Structure 1
Amino acid sequence: MKTAIRVAVVDDHPLFREGVARSLSEIEGFEIVAEGRSKDDAIKIAEDRQPDVLLLDISMPGGGLNAISAIIERVPTQKIVMLTVSESSDDVTAALDRGAKGYVLKGVGARTLAEIIRNIAAGESYVAPALSARLLSNRSTPEPRRQTAIATLTNREHEVLHLVASGLSNKLVARKLDLHEKTIKHHMTQIMAKLGVGNRTEAAMALRDVIDERNDQ
């Protein structure tokens, strides 16, 4: 029997927080280990409970974005997912830059949220597709070094990155290429290191930027 994914939910709206906690607890493979309503609660939960995944709202007392940096400073391995109504590109960028592994909009269904949490617990990252597309469209012209970095990728790494950029998870990429999921994770680690990015979304952005630049030439 697999160990349940330990999740904490921090949101200052009790009905929403309790609803998320209850929905996840009713899905096999999840355990709710703590709930909170503020930045201070989030920090204490991360330090004391060390959940596998910590769900944070942005607009809570103390600020969810501020909580990310404080938590990562104290618990560097903590996986944080923003669960919010904010569709601001600035908020998405700030959350990812500060160390969040996921950015999910509150309209998501319980089963979809559960799948996202599973993937993040397994080492992946996630940004709501509509927001990811907006970030890509808002990006400025890529730096020459990024174009050079893309050129250093192997054929297999190019293949993996193109599939990831199309929105596929590591598991689906592995199926499509008939490889082990662990192999795909290794390729993504190499890709991110070569591109100098911190997560899958940024790697996809880098590829899209370079493609757009080439098309404009």
Structure 2
Amino acid sequence: MPEMRNIIIIGTDHTIQAYAGALERDGFAVSAKGAASDSLSAAADVVIVDLSLAGEDPVAKSYLEAAAGGQAPPVIAIVSPEQLSSFDPARDIEDFVLAGAPAEEVAARARQAVWKRHRVDTKNVLKCGDLLMDLANYTVHVGGRPVELTYKEYELLRYLATNQGRVVSRETLLSRVWGYDFYGGARTVDVHIRRLRSKIEDRHNVFIETVRNVGYRFRAGV
């Protein structure tokens, strides 16, 4: 099994409850800190900070200051509509979401932050026949040949491969890879799957099956 990535949520009880479950289902080991809690010492790959606490919470403030100095893990800020007019997108924050954003969107942004960071962990490898995925370094090889994928292609492959043998609907792929706020349709998934197949498959290697009128399945026991 791939090694879990660590994420810290610094926010209100409501924020923690809203996002912790989805992040855990997405493969993150979640540490949470409420406004009245002691500081956390857990090493993190990503930190989510509720900006409503930035002025009053010393731990939230310390992570934001460390991010400004380039000495912190990627920080994803949760910004309320009231804070939006004064929020500076040029500050050293990896990404931000509006308060109340769907948990799946927050999880997708956390995955992308880890992608950009390219953490090294040689144990974090998934092998399916001739296909080798390094889930920490975000690399893919087929038959020893490196394959260049876009972020969305990689996320599609990762989700299908980690659900090997299961049929995954187009709607599920849209929500897990693009997020619930994406307005594209099933054709978006089909186009990306076709491009992905053209890069990883040939007459000797067929990894992804189309399940008519439903979605796709990564072949078990490839």
TM-score (norm 2): 0.45
Higher Rg of the two aligned structures: 2
**Greater strand fraction, Structure 1 or Structure 2:** 2
**Greater helix fraction, Structure 1 or Structure 2:** 1
